[in-house]
């Protein structure tokens, strides 16, 4: 590979990776829920769950976490005993943002998949993607009949799936 | 590599990260925690990569490699703020504030210099006016360049305005931000209370209406025009047109009321060139005292008598200074309204 190609490709790769990495980090923090997760575990899970395809320089994980904390998407708590690691949790606001962005990204990935001749299918049995704003609504923990991001009334969509009470 | 060497490698790596961190972060207590977290991560990674479960020479070096270069880590911390050209959105209001303050000081200094020269020196009036414009022009250009370079550098380092505040102020700002989010209203940082409405609509409409009326009078000139020089009447018409436009913009701001802050900012930005466009008219009048009406018995128009030329021009110089200063008020309003967005 010539240098120009390498430089261009690497710049483009980091542009693509930037948002995806942050969203993936949020996804891992979300998986740990109330237990929280420390930085090292996040980087480990990120590698394992993406089959070592989403590689970020591990040191750069901390500035990303700090920014997310500054933006009130996540909060942290330091262990009082032992290695005194910092554990990260999604805030209520962060959960809302994560669900929305996760839905947006999923729909986008499915939509653009034909461009690259690959198949991506949304898990429609598990989640409802709000038709008005793309927010991902977990059907297992359905609390209201409207989208908590845009307020769209989802009774019709639930009815179609036989979920309306 | 023995244990000391491994510790040395880790310490050197952490030291290098610290060296590259942006200054605003180094000033915070938090930066020690950041370095401790990185070190903790590094040792955990070295443990994982080692075959024995205990960090060794090879695994420590590999772990350092996985962490990324200190420059890349520091670069991420500098990636702060929303890019808006070369100055971040967060620093833009401070940049405009700094520019207007420096501009105001320069204009004031040059005017003071001019007034002092006017009363003490023996330079001609034209030389003084020439000096005024050259002084303002050079000062503004130089200060614009310096202030811009400083703010571009601060933006590249990821500085935010709060980084220049004391810890107590930072804490207060954080509390206010939380209050703002909870209540959904902007809060004053000094009063710790919700911000007052940024304009009084009735005042703007009345003020604008008066300006509009005055403009229409100057434009239509419903008075005995034979008493004035035609060139003076033409200047009055142009001035009337500018006043009408300015009045209309004020009325529009009044009608919009305390909504759509961005539109208010645009309207203020439009008023600035309108105000400044009056200055050339005044300069023409300053250079042509013979067309300015000076009523005396038996009530016929005459130009300003030669013995009053200096006073006549001094009054207009003060008017130019006042107009320039009122444009700073518009710039201040643009900055102030930023808080309401």
How does DSSP assign A20-70, residue by residue?
A: HHHHHHHHHHHHHGGG-EEHHHHHHHHHHHTTT-S---GGGHHHHHHHHHH
Q: A57–B80: do the CB atoms touch at under 8 Å?
A: no
Q: What is the pLDDT of residue B17?
A: 94
CB contacts of B44 in chain A (<8 Å) are 40
Q: Is B177 within 8 Å of chain A by CB?
A: no
Please state, in angstroms and rounded to a whole number, the distance separating the CA atoms of residues B283 and B292: 12
Mean pLDDT taken over chain A = 91
Is pLDDT at A39 greater than 90 in this prediction? yes
Is pLDDT at A28 greater than 80 in this prediction? yes
Please state, in angstroms and rounded to a whole number, the distance separating the CA atoms of residues B234 and B240: 10
Phi, psi of A90 (to 5 degrees): -80, 140
Strand order in the sheet with A37-38: A37-38, A86-90, A74-78
How would residue A24 be classed by pLDDT, with cut points 50, 70 and 90? very high
Q: What is the pLDDT of residue A76?
A: 94
Chain A to chain B Cβ contacts (< 8 Å): 52
Q: A59–B45: do the CB atoms touch at under 8 Å?
A: no
Q: Which domains does chain A possess? A: 3-90 (1.10.10.10)
Interface of A with B (CB under 8 A): 39-40, 43-44, 57-64, 66-67, 72, 83, 85-86
Position with higher pLDDT, A134 vs A115: A115
Instruction: Tell me which residues of chain B have a pLDDT lower than 70.
Output: 1, 119, 121-123, 125, 177-197, 296-301, 340-341
Q: What is the pLDDT of residue B35?
A: 93
Q: A58–B45: do the CB atoms touch at under 8 Å?
A: yes
What's the pLDDT tens digit per position in B252-294? 888 887 777 888 888 988 888 888 888 888 988 888 888 888 8
How would residue A68 be classed by pLDDT, with cut points 50, 70 and 90? very high
Q: B38–A62: do the CB atoms touch at under 8 Å?
A: yes
Q: B68–A59: do the CB atoms touch at under 8 Å?
A: yes
Q: What is the pLDDT of residue B336?
A: 80
Interface predicted TM-score (ipTM) over 0.85: no
> What phi-psi label fits residue B42: left (phi over 0), alpha (psi between -120 and 50 degrees) or beta?
alpha
């Amino acid at each position: 590979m010539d240098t120009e190609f390498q430089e261009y490709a690497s710049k483009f790769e980091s542009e693509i990776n930037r948002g995806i990495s942050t969203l993936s980090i949020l996804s891992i923090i979300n998986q740990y829920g109330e237990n929280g997760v420390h930085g090292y575990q996040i980087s480990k899970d990120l590698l394992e769950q993406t089959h070592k395809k989403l590689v970020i320089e591990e040191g750069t994980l901390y500035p990303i976490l700090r920014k997310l904390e500054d933006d009130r998407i996540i909060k942290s708590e330091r262990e009082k005993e032992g290695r005194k690691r910092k554990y990260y949790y999604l805030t209520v606001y962060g959960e809302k943002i994560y669900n929305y962005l996760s839905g947006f990204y999923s729909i986008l990935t499915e939509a653009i998949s034909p461009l690259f001749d690959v198949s991506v299918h949304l898990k429609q049995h598990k989640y409802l993607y709000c038709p008005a704003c793309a927010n991902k609504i977990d059907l297992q923990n359905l609390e209201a009949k409207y989208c908590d991001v845009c307020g769209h009334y989802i009774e019709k969509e639930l009815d179609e799936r036989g979920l309306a009470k | 590599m023995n244990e000391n060497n491994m510790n040395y490698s880790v310490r050197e790596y952490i030291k290098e990260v610290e060296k590259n961190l942006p200054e605003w972060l180094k000033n915070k207590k938090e930066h020690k925690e950041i370095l401790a977290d990185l070190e903790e991560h590094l040792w955990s990674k070295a443990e994982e990569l080692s075959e024995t479960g205990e960090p060794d020479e090879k695994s420590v070096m590999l772990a350092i490699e996985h962490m990324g270069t200190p420059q890349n880590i520091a670069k991420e911390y500098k990636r702060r703020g929303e890019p808006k050209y070369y100055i971040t959105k967060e620093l833009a209001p401070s940049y405009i504030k700094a520019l207007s303050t420096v501009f105001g000081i320069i204009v004031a200094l040059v005017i003071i210099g001019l007034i002092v020269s006017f009363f003490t020196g023996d330079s001609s009036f034209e030389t003084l006016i020439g000096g005024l414009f050259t002084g303002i022009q050079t000062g503004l250009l130089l200060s614009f360049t310096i202030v811009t370079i400083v703010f571009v550098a601060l933006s590249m380092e990821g500085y935010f305005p709060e980084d220049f505040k004391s810890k107590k102020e930072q804490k207060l700002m954080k509390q206010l931000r939380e209050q703002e989010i909870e209540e959904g209203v902007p809060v004053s940082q000094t009063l710790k209370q919700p911000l007052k409405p940024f304009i009084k609509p009735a005042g703007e409409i009345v003020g604008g209406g008066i300006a509009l009326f005055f403009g229409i009078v100057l434009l239509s000139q419903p008075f005995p025009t034979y008493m004035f020089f035609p060139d003076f009447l033409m200047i009055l018409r142009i001035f009337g047109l500018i006043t009408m436009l300015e009045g209309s913009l004020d009325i529009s701001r009044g009608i919009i009321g305390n909504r759509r802050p961005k539109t208010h900012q645009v309207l203020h930005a439009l008023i600035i060139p309108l105000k400044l466009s009056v200055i050339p008219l005044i300069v023409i009048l300053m250079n042509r005292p013979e067309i300015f009406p000076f009523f005396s018995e038996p009530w016929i128009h005459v130009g300003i008598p030669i013995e009053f030329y200096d006073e006549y021009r001094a009054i207009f110089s003060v008017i130019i200074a006042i107009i320039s200063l009122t444009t700073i008020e518009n710039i201040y309003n643009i900055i102030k309204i930023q808080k309401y967005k």
